[in-house]
Amino acid sequence: MRRSVAVRLSALLATGALAAATGLAVSTSTASAATGGVTGYATQNGGTTGGAGGQTVRATTGTAIHQALCSRASSSTPIIIQVEGTINHGNTAKVSGSSCNTAAGVIELKQISNVTIVGVGSGAVFDQLGIHIRESSNIIIQNVTVRNVKKSGSPTSNGGDAIGMESGVRNVWVDHTTLEASGGESEGYDGLFDMKDNTQYVTLSYSILRNSGRGGLIGSSESDRSNGYVTFHHNLYQNIDSRAPLLRGGIAHVYNNHYKSLNESGINSRAGARAKVDNNYFEDSKDVLGTFYTSEAGYWQVSGNIFDNVTWSSRSGDNNPAGPNPTSNTSVSIPYAYTLDAANCVPGVVSQTAGANKGLKVSDGSCTPQNPDPTDPDPTDPDPDPTDPDPTDPPTGTNLSLGAGADGSSKADGTSYGNVRDGNLSTYWSPSGSTGSVSVKWGSTTTVSKANVRLASGSGTIGSYRVLNHDTGAVLASGSGSGVIAFAPTSLKKITLEITSANGTPRIAEFETYAS
């Protein structure tokens, strides 16, 4: 049954990496993450909402993700980061700020809360770059692919884990993701989904974990038993050697998952862990449930599972499989409502729903995949509501700033207010310091609903900004970074970009304005 993971994978994974653009785009639009669909243990302990209600930021690089975190008012200010493109070592740098604690070579969600990271448009791929959640709470990761994260060799990231959680983490929902590697530990990889050092109230749903020596664990050692309350449902574990998952202490609810080609062992409940294992489909696998590689027993409650071409080894020493006829040896009470699909339809349902870029389809227990709630648009649709265009799309129509007037606060030597509305990206206005404002003005009332802030070469970055109706002082939008900014259509004679913080000196090449 055992085969080399590296050999098995050679025909399955794409190896190319895209050259991603840098930068952020900010809007005040409703997020595309289906945050209303949180399930399992992530609904407990006050629930998991991620960045719901916060600002929406579009990021195409890892540095831009970090910049979005660091530009918040505080480490708990809600934010939704929409990611598109390939995130890799070449575009993921450390960013500093009072609301973040980031590092290069990894997406670092450390000592923060209330954050959603969601793939949008053509998709988000974290290539050889892991996502690390540490000392954080209320985090949602949705509709992304994380692949080929290494702990040895080059490049390394996140200790070799695709998604890793540790040190007092609470309330995380990981949904509709694809987590994959190109082999096992000997090829430099570790786990796909690891939780340790007091991580609790986590749900992994509608995700694919494949082509790895290790699926994931709860607890880093037999003594690390402070983790638990984790739900795994409607996931595909495929071509995994072991740890699907490994449980040390705590409680796990494992239901409606499809396990295919588990080569050494599957759900490894040990060190006092208790697992409720309902209506899963195990196929072409070995020792899919039991206590393995330790004398410290774990426990399970089983019902409704299907074992299709599953082989079981004999009990001996530290090897204690639950089969060939698994029976319950504990009882687990589940505190939340859930609906089970029949086990015989799990492969079909999971194949249509699990993984990134599947349209966030879910199951309601009827064995028929359902589209997400219409109030939660599909993030893979670049324009889910034709009446509410994606504010990060390039604006259409005439740039109203061309030929208009301009003024502002004090400017750096050699720059001009008029350079922000001349259509020339090589000329620019800069504030005399890291903060300041520049305005575009017209002789008569003009309706504006979008702005596009374009930086010149060699520019510093905008940490935070406000767009103001200069006529009334009303704040039309606020955010961080540069790019397209959308707001409600407003009739005015003067619009102001106010930079309230920056890294380096921003060079504003163009402050474009559009009616739509």
Using alpha carbons only, give the angle 405, 472, 437 rounded to the nearest 5 degrees. Answer: 50
Query: Cis omega (within 30 of 0) on the bond before 506?
Result: no
Residue of 134, 135, 140 lying closest to 52 (CA atoms):
140
Answer yes or no: are the C-beta atoms of 59 and 81 closer than 8 Å.
Answer: yes
Q: Which residues of 49-65 are buried (b: 16+ CB within 10 A; e: fewer)?
A: bbbbebbbbbbbbbbbb
Residue type (1 letter), 506:
P
Q: What is the CA radius of gyration of the chain?
A: 25
| Cα 482 to Cα 232: distance, rounded to the nearest angstrom | 39
| Cα 228 to Cα 274: distance, rounded to the nearest angstrom | 9
Answer yes or no: are the C-beta atoms of 237 and 181 closer than 8 Å.
Answer: no
Residue of 329, 256, 343 lying closest to 299 (CA atoms):
329
Residue of 171, 211, 173 lying closest to 191 (CA atoms):
211
Instruction: Determine which one of 72, 210, 243, 507 is catalytic.
Output: 243
Q: Residue holding tokens 């687990």?
A: 332
SS3 350: helix
Answer yes or no: are the C-beta atoms of 372 and 381 closer than 8 Å.
Answer: no
In angstroms, the first-to-last Cα distance of the chain is 60
Answer yes or no: are the C-beta atoms of 128 and 144 closer than 8 Å.
Answer: no
Active site residue 72: no
Residue type (1 letter), 30:
T
| Cα 189 to Cα 174: distance, rounded to the nearest angstrom | 20
| Cα 241 to Cα 100: distance, rounded to the nearest angstrom | 36
| Cα 23 to Cα 479: distance, rounded to the nearest angstrom | 13
**Hey, which residues does 369 pair with through a beta bridge?**
363
Q: What separation in angstroms does the CA of 322 have from each of 115, 157, 252, 294, 404?
A: 39, 35, 17, 14, 76
Q: What separation in angstroms does the CA of 365 have from each of 36, 340, 354, 387?
A: 18, 5, 15, 33
Paired sense of beta strands 113-127 and 145-147, if any:
parallel
Residue positions annotated with a catalytic role: 243
